[in-house]
Structure 1
Amino acid sequence: MIKAPGRRGSAVCCRGVTLDVGSHAILSDISLTVEAGSFVGLFGPNGAGKTTFLRALLGLVQVESGDIMLFGDAVTRGSRSIGYMPQSRTPNGATLTGRDLLASGFDGGKWGVPWVSRAGYAEIEAVLEAVDAVSLADRRLGSLSGGERQRLLIAQALLGSPRLLLLDEPLASLDPARMREMALLLRDVARKREMTVICSAHDINPLMGVMDTVLCLARGQARIGPVDEVVTSEVLSALYGAPVEVCHAPSGRVLVSADGL
């Protein structure tokens, strides 16, 4: 499905993209557009290709066929226009402080905490403030909760003022209240910094009211669009190839039930 870009233009444009892992096609001939400034919730069953898709946007997974454009340019590995929070993200060095962790983001290819300029430290303070983590800056990583460490890792992904923020399961391991709190924080940061966000998650509910676009991956295919157009029984049943029931509760929560998935 191709979603025509709006007035803001496209942040991501995939045309006939196939992504393989080994000899297995994870995504097959998908075409989609993510409008600049969108907050996209990325969903799909385990093995559907969510992480592979994000890594392809980073230039870390080679496209088997088709092409991917970011803000009108071809994907390049190491682009400073992209911020990334990976799924596997246990920070090394329990004795390092939060500020040390962020300082390492300026030159992650070198051993140890690098020298950071005055301007660099000013940027570190700005991203700490953006995610409400100033109080965590001087605490040791080993003393922080999972949610607190995730705030610091999101702050690290904001270094360099990226135009596109890719988040792989940033709500994982959080309780429901903290999931919602984190989702709202991400929405506010994205709005203030005018970023495009693609955020993968297992549970759709914490992102309800936060995301304006849903991207679902299943069986090698993709479907993208507004929440009320994609999160329906008819669309998800066709995408998953199995009966799917979608129920919208008065509270705004969504229950997705499927047999055999």
Structure 2
Amino acid sequence: MASVPQARQSGPAGGAAAISLRGAALSYGDRTVWSGLELDVHPGEFVAVLGPNGAGKTSLVRALLGRQPLSAGTLTVLGRPPRTASRDIGYIPQQATLSAQAMLRARDLVRFGIDGHRFGPRLRTTGVRHRVDQILESVGASAYADVPLGLLSGGERQRVRIGQALAGDPRILLCDEPLLSLDLHHQRAVTELIDARRCSHDTAVVFVTHEINPVLGLADRVLYLAGGGHRVGTPEQVLTSESLSALYGTQVDVVRVHGRVVVVGAPDEPATPPHHPNETREADGVRS
């Protein structure tokens, strides 16, 4: 079993919050997904977002990206309302199945992270190509820079997606289930790349995951969403039988075995209505 990377010894950087939610709520029709959310994420902080299927984890990411309006409360990102296509935010989406005939190359995807927001034809400059090569090298993807994405493994594609997310030199990284379908080796590689960026550039990280153990040693705090409620705190504060039992309103046992966390007895949430497919793709709650 791969060892878990160690968390930073220093706390999050001070100063203004990179992300701030006050009294935030999100509803679909008469169903409240979460409400009363008070959360500040500071530069250099790693916040893991956990919860069962339909708890609103992906919807939170969409709100931070400016793609999903809140039902109540306020949200600011870098001191202003969230907006789409912000170069200050790097986004690593959930993995999507790609056809082996998909001809977009790894370097093309990273290039989109540099100038994909611009209108008109992209200039083929030596400087941009050099920047793309630097990014691919930094995420360990140089060997397959010119390989179509459809021919890459899941772990290789995630490295390229991280490169794309970092291409704009973001101040915030939003990671939506970046470890899905990856084996332990690639999970470790992906988390180490993200954490290296956090440590070297004081980048704020919001990391949605169904599996806390690969990031347990990295997370400064946990946001656990369930049953329309939430818990925020350090992993030691949130991932306890008492805390999660109160959140779910039923007995939930949190067991720690050889440094791993296993949550037993957490019920599934009701499925989100079909016209909100982004929520139905979320995986179940924390598990080993």
- C-alpha displacement at 1:23, in angstroms? 4.1
Matched, 1:85 2:92: yes
Displacement after TM superposition at 1:224 (Å): 1.6
Residues 1:63 and 2:70 aligned together: yes
Question: 2 CA distance for matches of 1:197 and 1:260?
Answer: 28
How many angstroms does 1:259 deviate by? 5.0
Q: How does 1:89-238 map to 2 (within 5 A)?
A: 89-90=96-97, 94-105=102-113, 106-107=115-116, 114-238=122-246
Matched-pair contact (CA < 8 Å) for 1:213–1:224? yes
1:23-38 → structure 2 map (5 Å cutoff): 23-38=30-45
Match of 2:46 in 1: 39
**Where does the alignment leave 5 or more consecutive residues of structure 2 unmatched?**
1-11, 269-288
Give the count of matched residue pairs.
255
Encode CA deviations 1:81-133: one digit per residue, 9 max, x unaligned. 1111222544576223211222233226879x843433332332232222121
- Percent of aligned positions that are identical: 41
Are positions 1:11 and 2:18 aligned together? yes
Taking a change above 3 Å as real, the CA distance of residues 24 and 260 of structure 1, as seen in their structure-2 partners, is: closer
Indicate the residue corresponding to 1:75 in structure 2.
82
**CA deviation after TM superposition for structure 1 residue 165, in Å:** 0.5
SS at 1:15 equivalent: strand
Bigger share in strand: 1
AA at the equivalent of 1:49: G
CA shift at 1:18, angstroms?
A: 1.2
Higher relative contact order (CA 8 A, sep 6+): 2
- Code of the aligned partner of 2:21: C
CA distance in structure 2 between the partners assigned to 1:47 and 1:184 by the alignment:
28
Separation (CA, whole Å) in 1 of partners of 2:158 and 2:78: 27
Give the TM-score, by structure 1 length: 0.89
Gaps of 5+ in 1: none
- Relative to structure 1, the CA distance from residue 128 to residue 21 in structure 2 (aligned partners, 3 Å threshold; closer, same or farther) is farther
Alpha-carbon distance change, 240 to 121 in structure 1, aligned in 2, over 3 angstroms: farther
Deviation at 1:144, TM superposition (A): 1.0
CA contact (8 A) 2:158 2:190 kept: no
Cα RMSD (Å): 2.3
Listed as ranges, the matches of 1:45-56 within 5 Å are: 45-56=52-63
Closer, same or farther: CA 216–259 of 1 in aligned 2, 3 Å: closer
TM-score (norm 2): 0.81
In 2, Cα distance between the equivalents of 1:88 and 1:143?
14
SS at match of 2:24: strand
CA pair 84-6 structure 1, distance change in 2 beyond 3 A: closer
The answer to whether the 8 Å contact 1:103/1:116 transfers is no
Q: Distance in 1 between matches of 2:172 and 2:33?
A: 23
Q: How far apart are residue 73 of structure 1 and its match? A: 2.1
Q: Displacement of 1:15 after TM fit? A: 0.5
1:73 aligned counterpart, secondary structure = coil
